[in-house]
Chains A and B, each alone.
Chain A
Amino acid sequence: MILKCNIDGTQYTFNENANKPLKRILEENIPAFPSNSSCTGASCGNCLIIFNNSLRYSCLIPAFEANNATITTYEGFVKTRGFHDIERAYEHTGSQPCSICFKSKTLIIETLINRLEQKNLLLGKASLRTKIQSLDKQLIESELNVIPCKCMEINEIEKLTNLAYVYRSNRSARKPQIS
Chain B
Amino acid sequence: MYTGVTAVPENLRSPDIYQPKTIAELLLIKSKNPNAMLWGGGTYIMADPNYYPNPEAKDIIRLNKISELFRIQHTDKYIEAGSMVTIQHLINNGNTILSKPVIQALSSVGNTMIRNSATLGGSLSIFNFRTSICCILATIGATAELRFFNRLNYSRWINVSKLYDNAGNFLYADKAFITKVRIPAAENQFAQIFLTIDSPLRQQKNSLSFGLQYTVSQGNIMQPSVCITFPVSGFVFSGEIENRINSINLPVNPDAIVSVSEQISLLVKKNCPNASDLQMERVKRLIQKVLFDINSRYLAG
Question: Contact residues of A with B, CB < 8 Å?
Answer: 1-2, 15-21, 24, 40-43, 54-57, 59-62, 64-65, 67, 142-143, 145-146
Contact = CB atoms under 8 A, between A and B. Distances in A.
A65 B17 CA distance: 10
Interface of B: 2-5, 7-10, 12, 14-17, 42-44, 46-49, 51-53, 57, 60, 62, 110-114, 116-117, 199, 201-202
B5 A40 contact: no
A146 B113 CA distance: 7
Contacts of A17: 8-10, 12, 14-15, 52-53, 57
A55 B8 contact: no
Contacts of B44: 41
Nearest to A1: B2
A146 B43 CA distance: 14
Nearest to A63: B14
Nearest to B202: A42
Given A16-B9, A19-B15, A20-B52, A59 B46 contact: yes
Nearest to B110: A43
A9 to B, nearest CB: 24
Q: Is the interface of B mostly helix, strand, loop or mixed?
A: loop
**9 smallest beta-carbon distances between A and B, as pairs:** A41-B47, A1-B2, A145-B111, A17-B14, A60-B46, A40-B49, A142-B112, A42-B202, A18-B14
Contacts of B110: 43
Contacts of B49: 40
A20 B46 CA distance: 9
A60 B2 contact: no
Nearest to B37: A19
A39 to B, nearest CB: 9
B202 A61 contact: no
Most buried by A among B2, B12, B46: B46
B46 A2 contact: no
Contacts of B52: 17, 19-21, 24
Contact of A1 (B5, B53, B201, B202): B5
